[in-house]
Amino acid sequence: MLRSLGRSLIALALLALGACATPQGSSGILTSANVSVSNGRTYVLETYFAAADHAALRQTRPNGEVQISGILGTLASTSAAPDEVGGQMLRTIVLGHQFRALLLNFDAIHNNLRAGEIEDAGERRATRDGDWPYGGVSHLVLGAAPDRPTAFVFKYTGAPEIRVAFSDWREAGGETLPFHIVIDDGSNRYDYSFTVIATDAAAPDWAN
């Protein structure tokens, strides 16, 4: 479906640029979550991540309306504006919602990796920091257990500071991952309850 979002313009560009570096049919991280927002909105958000150049998200609202956004090779696109080629902000939105992939592949996705510290939840905490590929910095806030960080703090170019808190850690595909997260962007809180986390899933049709 992502190849159809930009219609003929994007389809031709994909052919000219060699399409995606990650071949169709490769496996990746697939998630689905029920999301409730502090402003009263609800929706289901599905995400798929195979690589930084092959990722997508699909939002389904209670009225059945569906919006798909994704990165495929050198291009980003969204069904909200199917005739336009997306820029760095759309790439940040798509990749920034791949929370499981960011936990499992933090070092591969970020540049200039380093140890740091940040004020978080009223305390000074150690972090794993990295430069976001589209501008800004990600802080992975470390917890008491080495495999259970407490949060992400995102400071991305052109976006407000965002905190993503983790809880309800469970086994999924040989990894221990959080099945509940709360996102605070300074305006709203987004409560995610995950119903699916698959770490070796084939790409769904809407992510290709």
Q: What residue ranges do the domains of the chain occupy?
A: 2-207
Alpha-carbon distances, residue 103 vs 13, 23, 47 (angstroms)? 32, 23, 14
What is the per-residue pLDDT across 17-47, written as a single tens digit (0 to 9) for each? Answer: 333 344 444 699 999 999 999 999 999 999 9
Mean pLDDT of the chain: 88
Residue 185 has pLDDT above 60, yes or no: yes
Structure tokens at 135: 């501008």
pLDDT for residue 1 = 60
Q: Please give the model's pTM, rounded to 2 decimal places.
A: 0.86
Residue 97 has pLDDT above 80, yes or no: yes
May I ask the CATH class of domain 2-207? mainly beta
pLDDT for residue 63 = 98
Question: 3-state SS of 123-177?
Answer: EEEEEEEEECCCCEEEEEECCCCCCCCCEEEEEECCCCCEEEEEEEEEEECCEEE
What is the per-residue pLDDT across 115-154, written as a single tens digit (0 to 9) for each? Answer: 999 998 889 999 999 999 999 999 999 998 888 999 999 9
- Local confidence band at 8 (pLDDT 50, 70, 90 cut-offs): very low
